[in-house]
């Protein structure tokens, strides 16, 4: 991990097209500004973790859903054999 110190109004450049600027520092909180291409996704770490967790939940089947899909698959297989 690279650790840098910056003062208010100072910036860091990431790659060729992303600029991170310290906007303000107030009571232990830092306000950051990002100048990046529109297609660059910028998320808070906790939001990215929450999205990842929800995606994992959504992609896994409950036992009831799995039974229903297996039953549907069996019905489709019977229809194709006839």
Each of the 82 residues of the chain gets a pLDDT tens digit; together they read 999 999 999 999 999 999 999 999 999 999 999 999 999 999 999 999 999 988 888 787 778 877 888 888 888 877 765 5
User: In which element (H, E) is residue 29 found?
Assistant: strand 29-35
Q: What is the pLDDT of residue 80?
A: 64
Helices (H), 38-81: 45-59, 63-81
Q: What is the pLDDT of residue 70?
A: 84
């Amino acid at each position: 991990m690279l650790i840098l110190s910056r003062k208010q109004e100072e910036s860091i450049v990431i790659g060729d097209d992303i600029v991170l600027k310290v906007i303000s520092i107030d009571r232990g909180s830092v306000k950051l500004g990002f100048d990046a291409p529109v297609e660059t996704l910028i998320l808070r770490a906790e939001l990215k973790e929450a999205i990842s967790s929800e995606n994992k939940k959504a992609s896994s089947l409950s036992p009831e859903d799995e039974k229903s899909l297996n039953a549907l698959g069996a019905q489709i297989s019977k229809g194709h054999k006839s």
